[in-house]
Structure 1
């Protein structure tokens, strides 16, 4: 599509970075407008967004580097340079989610906040931000899909996008848009559950988010055309992690429903 939205002299505005910033802003706006939690201040909300986002970005990049380490260059120095030179691209969501959740948990523990109830409050914002992030993937051409026939295919023609040369001009499944739409639907459902105020068990909305996204990601992976980092029983690593995450979410929901 359009990896850069604006060219002004030597300045280029990357579409991916712009949509990430939009997602970050939308998440903060949602949290600001949503029903406040009595035990979480606005300053603490801002801190949680900042630290979780920072940890998430670093975690997503670290897992990407670990997964594709041997493919990043012939030696350590070239791989290290590649990671920072191409920092705007190459992230693994589940790595970012794990690191962001860890930072979120540590902040809650240090400030004596109820982790599960606070996570419920933030879950819709996470889905919203992730949806914008996937729009950025579409603009940049990363996380592209398999070749598609019929009207579903979208052809990437800009040689500066992340789609390999062999796929330029070839109609591909716009899996980034599929996942963006799925995340926005998840956001809508979670925001509705939050507004109803009838979900009393702490962690229920967070668990529903994990379950819903795991299912979405598992299905979308079948249409991904980029390197999926190996397979196990015919499944990509992301699909394997989706099964684990969904199982954990179902366990959480089952336990909470029994209480």
Structure 2
């Protein structure tokens, strides 16, 4: 696993760049997910614009104005933060190099570098705006197309999505949140996708209504982008080892000397648990409460690696497990017995589902139906992966679903309802015409 990009570069390229320790692998893939989603969304919005289903809105803009006070202050604040923290790493290297992540989230930094870069960025903004200023500012009307709004949409989706993901995760794990609220809010792990999806959807749809978007065309445009972004985001979960893995596969164990997956008889699972009692007792009151299911790689799939069926997530970012032999450093833990690598399964399945949505998007002509199909595919995928995932379960009239199972079921139902309504409305409209 690669807790941050430093470990990835060291392992894959043999290059050690300590500065890369501040870039978390999970955050890197989240950024890539947003960029990929923005690219696909832009392409789809342009296609719907060409079909006449999305239209631009004329807006007045003023050119030739000098830099405003707000622009200068904004640039100064951003410059100060970058200088104080990022450049501060080099000014205080002896301290920062010990734990770069802790340094970034501490109050430490370089006041001199912050003031210097803040003043430089504010000065540059003032200079560029003054150079382009006109004696008499001009007003002109420009046509702003929906695809021009993608940067705004992505920023809002990122903020609302991350906030929603954190809120839903902490609601699902309330006891952990109460025990350490600051740590829970600032940790790089602990994000619930559906929480992010719900909150971001509310914010984006509200924004789209104000901008007079065709909502059905917008959500259809977003469907493939959402599926692709989710698959890439799961890459961050898998490659960082953020704890979003499955239950234990009791047909395999882990060699704590190497971190490699090793086959074992399912009957030996109890022996492994007893051998690593210190780890398991921190999480489970008894052996019976440890979620596990044995599934050995079928003989017909013998060419596939064992870690596809069971994995120990060595060097995981949340530092969970037992000590890896011969490892020194911050991330030296490996799970004592193998789990199902569910993020890897979701990566594979969601990339396939993205391909399906991308392939049918031009064939489905009823607005809103593509998004309904997305809801169904997403809900079904998540519902079944929950069967081998570790999640908090609720007690509802004798049933014990997870939060994701409840929401995924509602998404499937919602997708069916949307498709039925939109197809019915489309049929009625065609009869009237």
The answer to whether the aligner puts 1:144 opposite 2:300 as a matched pair is no
Shifted more, 237-246 versus 125-134: the winner is 237-246
Partner of 1:55: 160
Structure number, greater radius of gyration? 2
Q: Is the 8 A contact 1:204 1:253 kept in 2?
A: yes
Instruction: Summarize the Cα distance change of 1:2–1:11 in structure 2 as closer, same or farther, 3 Å threshold.
Output: closer
- Answer yes or no: is the 8 Å Cα contact 2:4–2:25 preserved in 1: yes
Q: Aligned residue for 2:310?
A: 153
Deviation at 1:202, TM superposition (A): 1.7
Question: In 2, Cα distance between the equivalents of 1:188 and 1:22?
Answer: 18
Change (3 A) 1:164 1:252: same
Q: Residue 17 of structure 1 aligns with which residue?
A: 27
Q: What is the deviation of 1:214?
A: 0.2
- Which moved further from structure 2: 10-19 or 236-245? 10-19
- SS of the equivalent of 2:47 reads coil
- Partner SS, residue 48 of structure 2: coil
Q: Structure 1 residue 119 and structure 2 residue 219: aligned?
A: yes
Deviation at 1:229, TM superposition (A): 4.6
Corresponding residue pairs, total: 250
Pick aligned residue for 1:162 from 290, 309, 318:
318
- Counterparts of 2:360 and 2:208 in 1: how far apart (Å)? 22
Residue 203 of structure 1 corresponds to 368
Q: Distance in 1 between matches of 2:205 and 2:43?
A: 23
Q: 1:170 to 1:163 in 2, by over 3 A?
A: farther
Distance 2:395 2:31 in 1: 33
Q: Which residue matches 1:2? A: 2
Question: CA–CA distance in 1 between the matches of 2:422 and 2:178?
Answer: 47
Question: Does 26-35 or 9-18 show the bigger shift?
Answer: 26-35
Shift of 1:66: 2.3
Judge which range, 149-158 or 171-180, deviates more.
149-158
Q: Residue in 2 aligned with 1:252?
A: 418
Q: C-alpha deviations, 1:191-221, integer Å up to 9, x for none?
A: 1122x2x322221111110110000000000
Distance (whole Å) between structure 1 residues aligned to residue 186 and residue 401 of structure 2:
30
Which position in structure 1 is the counterpart of 2:141? none
TM-score by length of 1: 0.88
Contact 1:60 1:95 in 2 (8 A): yes
**Residues in 1 aligned to 2:146 and 2:407: alpha-carbon distance in whole angstroms:** 33
Answer whether contact 2:391 2:402 (CA < 8 A) is retained: no
For structure 1, which runs of at least 5 residues remain unmatched after alignment?
A: none
Q: Give the Cα–Cα distance (whole angstroms) in 1 for the partners of residues 408 and 167 of structure 2.
A: 19
The reply on whether 1:223 has 2:388 as its aligned counterpart is: yes
1:242 equivalent in structure 2: 408
State the distance in 2 between where 1:134 and 1:163 align: 19
**Residue matched to 2:63:** none
Q: Which of 42-51 and 183-192 deviates more?
A: 42-51
Counterpart in 1 of 2:89? none
Rounded to whole Å, the distance in 2 between the matches of 1:32 and 1:124 is 11
List aligned pairs for 1:45-194, cutoff 5 A: 45-74=150-179, 78-79=180-181, 81-86=182-187, 88-141=188-241, 142-148=243-249, 149=251, 150=296, 151=306, 152-158=309-315, 160-162=316-318, 164-165=320-321, 168-194=335-361
Report the secondary structure of 1:155's partner residue.
coil
For the aligned residue pairs, the C-alpha RMSD in angstroms reads 2.0
Give the SS at the match of 2:6. Answer: strand
Residue deviations 1:63-87, cap 9 Å, x none? 112222322244xxx41x113331x
Which of 18, 30, 43 is equivalent to 2:148? 43
Q: How far apart in 2 are the matches of 1:57 and 1:70?
A: 21
> In structure 1, how many angstroms separate the alpha carbons of the residues matched to 2:354 and 2:340?
23
